């Protein structure tokens, strides 16, 4: 029962991140000036980017599609789904921290997505622990 609860939390977080990242990344790829989602070109001042195209591609693929891959792995109960949840949590948290450092600003959405990244790390680790515990129990010889 606890594993099901953890999987549901992981799936909700992965969907939240994945859909948002695909939407945002697609908009940045189609409108690299950031205008379609009200991003100021001035925020790129301290970054290596002239526009939002490259960040949009990274957002779309790494945070968007990878979240949906991890979501699918959780649904299908693939062997390493917990590791994919942990990986996406680390990717999301890294993305947010790097973004805040580069644009030298913190917004509410940074806090929300940073918390989602931390939650994915925790839930993924709990899923991993749960799987390892059950794996150990099933390998015990019967007496």
Q: Could you give the angle at the alpha carbon of 15 between the alpha carbons of 11 and 17, nearest 5°?
A: 120
> 143 lies in a domain?
no
Average pLDDT, the chain: 93
Residue 133 binned pLDDT confidence (cut-offs 50, 70, 90): confident
CA distance 118 to 90: 8
Q: Considering its fold, how many domains does the chain have in total?
A: 1
> 133 lies in a domain?
yes
pTM: 0.90
CA distance 114 to 90: 10
At residue 140, does pLDDT exceed 80?
Answer: no
Overall average pLDDT of the 55-63 stretch: 97
CA distance 72 to 68: 6
Q: Do residues 94 and 120 make contact, with C-beta atoms less than 8 angstroms apart?
A: no
- Higher pLDDT residue, 10 or 43? 10
Domain that holds residue 11: 2-138
> 81 lies in a domain?
yes
Query: Smallest Cα–Cα separation from 21: which of 86, 95, 108, 82?
Result: 95
């Amino acid at each position: 029962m606890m594993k099901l609860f953890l999987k549901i939390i992981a799936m909700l977080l992965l969907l939240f991140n994945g859909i948002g990242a695909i939407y945002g990344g697609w908009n940045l790829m189609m409108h690299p000036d950031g205008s379609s989602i009200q991003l100021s070109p001035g925020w790129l001042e301290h970054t290596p980017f002239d526009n939002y195209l490259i960040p949009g591609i990274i957002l779309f693929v790494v945070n968007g599609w990878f979240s949906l891959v991890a979501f699918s792995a959780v649904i299908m109960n693939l062997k390493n789904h917990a590791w994919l949840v942990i990986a996406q949590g680390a990717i999301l948290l890294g993305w947010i921290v790097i973004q805040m450092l580069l644009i030298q600003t913190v917004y509410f959405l940074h806090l929300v997505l940073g918390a989602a990244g931390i939650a994915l790390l925790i839930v993924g680790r709990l899923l991993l622990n749960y799987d390892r515990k059950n794996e150990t129990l099933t390998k015990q010889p019967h007496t």
